[in-house]
Amino acid sequence: MEILIVVAAVLLAAAVFCVLWAVRLSKHGFRCRKCSREFYPRWRSLVFAVHAYDQYEIRCPHCGNKGCTEVKAEDVSDNESSR
């Protein structure tokens, strides 16, 4: 019985960590590879998104393409400084 409580606590902590990570990541802009438009996905779509490094398999709300990359912080600061 005690082992079940420990396993449940670990699984709950992992789920909370994943949700918090997705919420934090959803505040970053993503750029579509097809239409090059920037968008901010919902955290729910990021929780189960297939990803590797900075590329995420999420659907672009503008053109419907899957496979968008995250806009890096230095990309955002470069764009703002050029305005």
Confidence label for 4 from pLDDT (cuts 50, 70 and 90): very high
Quote the pTM value: 0.63
pLDDT, the chain, mean: 80
- Phi, psi (rounded to 5 degrees) for 30: -115, 145
Q: For 27-48, how does the pLDDT look when each residue is reduced to its tens digit (9 = 90+)?
A: 888 888 888 888 888 888 888 8
**Residue among 8, 6, 9, 80 nearest 38 (CA):** 80
Q: How far apart are CA 10 and CA 80, in angstroms?
A: 42
- Mean pLDDT in residue range 61-68: 83
Domain boundaries, the chain: 2-81
